[in-house]
Amino acid sequence: MLLPPFDQAQQLFRGNLHGHSTHSDGQLSAAAVVEHYAGAGYDFTCLSDHLWGSSYFAADTILDTSDLDRDDFITITSAELHCRGKLYDQDGLWHIVANGLPVDFACATEDETAPELITRAIEAGAYVTIAHPEWYGMTSDEAMTIANAHGVEIYNHSCAVTSARGSGIAAADLLLNNDKRISFTATDDSHFTGGDWSGGWVYVAADNLNAEEIVSALKAGRHYSSSGATFNYIALEGDTLIIDCNPVASITISGQGHLALHQQGRNLTYAEFDLSGFKSNYFRVTIRDHCGGMAWSNPYFRDTLND
C-alpha cells in the first residue's frame, strides 16, 4: 500500500510556502520573487508578507499576486499573520503562516489571541502553520495553545542560515506526543537578503497546478517536505514499512517519545523496517543525504491508514 502523497499517481508540484517581497520587509518586488522561483524550477510560491499594523516591517493589507500567475507557475495568496502575546519575541508578536487566504483578510486586532487568529484564518479557507518555533523560543505551553493549526514548519531555511535556529521538530514532536494530528512543512522564509532562498520546500500531490487544489492537498497532508533529499515512494505492506529514495546516508523512522528505527550507509536508495514491535500510533520518516540535505514525510497515524 503506497502512502500519501504517493498513493494516487498524482504529479508532485514543488513550492515555497513562506516568503516575502517589498510589500513588507523583503528586498525584491513580487514580480522579481516570482522570476527567481520560476527560474529555479519551482511550480509555485507564496508571497506571505507580514500582515500587521506596523509599517517598519509589515503591511496592513494582503498582496494580490494573481496577475503574476502563468500556465506553468502560480502564486497562492498568503500572509504571515501577527498578533500580540508571544513570550520570547522582541516585538511580543506571534508569527503564523496562512496559505490560501482571501485578499480581504483583515489584520489581527490588538486583543485577538493566536488561537483565535488561527481559527479565523482556517475558517477563511487557509492552510495554517506554526512558523519557525525554534527561532523565537516557542515554549511547550505556547505550542499547545495553538495546536489548532494544520501544521508546523519543521525547517525554516532563513532561520537556519541567519541564526542557526531553523528547526521545528521539537515543537512538532511535542504536539504529536499529545495526539495532535499535524502536518509538516519546510520553507524558505525568503527575504532575499543573502542565501535565504531555495533551501526549503514542499512537494504537493495534486492533479492540476492551481491554488485551490494545492491548498486542499496541503490540508489533507498530501505533501512532503525537503531541504534537498527526495523520496520516490513510501509504502506499508502489513507491518513492513518500505522507503524508496534518491541516494542518502541515513533513513530514520521516528515515533512517540524517543522511539526510532534507523539505517545508515553509503548511497542508500531502499530500506525496509519492521513496525510490528514499534509501539507508537504514529511514525514519520526522515532521510538525510551525503551533503546534509534532508526530507521529511508527514506523520502517518496507524489508526487511520486503512480508512
User: What distance in Å separates the CA atoms of residue 6 and residue 204, rounded to the nearest whole number?
Assistant: 10
> Same fold for the domain at 11-226 and the one at 231-301?
no
Task: List the grid coordinates of 169.
Answer: 521538530
CA atoms within a 13 Å half-sphere pointing along the CA-CB vector of 231: 32
pLDDT grade, residue 56 (50/70/90)? confident
Q: What is the mean pLDDT of the chain?
A: 97
Residue 55 confidence (pLDDT) above 90: no
One-letter amino acid at 255 equals: G
Give the residue among 98, 108, 162, 109 at the shortest CA–CA distance from 136. Answer: 162
For residues 107 and 60, the answer to whether their CB atoms sit within 8 Å is yes
pLDDT digits (tens, 9 = 90+) for 79-113: 999 999 999 999 999 999 999 999 999 999 999 99
User: What distance in Å separates the CA atoms of residue 6 and residue 4, rounded to the nearest whole number?
Assistant: 5
Torsion angles phi and psi, residue 36, rounded to 5: -65, -50
pLDDT grade, residue 307 (50/70/90)? low
pTM recorded for the entire structure: 0.97
Long-range contacts of 271-276 (CB under 8 A, 24+ apart): 271/242, 271/243, 272/240, 272/241, 272/242, 272/243, 273/240, 273/241, 273/243, 274/239, 274/240, 275/236, 275/239, 275/240, 275/241, 276/239
Q: Per-residue pLDDT averaged across 46-53, rounded?
A: 97
In the chain, domain spans: 11-226, 231-301
CATH number of the domain at 231-301, please?
2.60.40
For residues 188 and 16, the answer to whether their CB atoms sit within 8 Å is yes
Torsion angles phi and psi, residue 16, rounded to 5: -105, 130
**Contacts of residue 208, Cβ cutoff 8 Å, sequence gap at least 6:** none
pLDDT digits (tens, 9 = 90+) for 159-206: 999 999 999 999 999 999 999 999 999 999 999 998 999 999 999 999
User: What distance in Å separates the CA atoms of residue 121 and residue 77, rounded to the nearest whole number?
Assistant: 12
Residue 17 confidence (pLDDT) above 80: yes
CATH assignment of 11-226, among 3.50.50.60, 3.20.20.140, 3.40.50.1860, 2.60.300.12: 3.20.20.140
Percent of the chain topping pLDDT 70 = 99
Residue 306 confidence (pLDDT) above 80: no
Residue with cell 493566536: 114
pLDDT grade, residue 230 (50/70/90)? very high
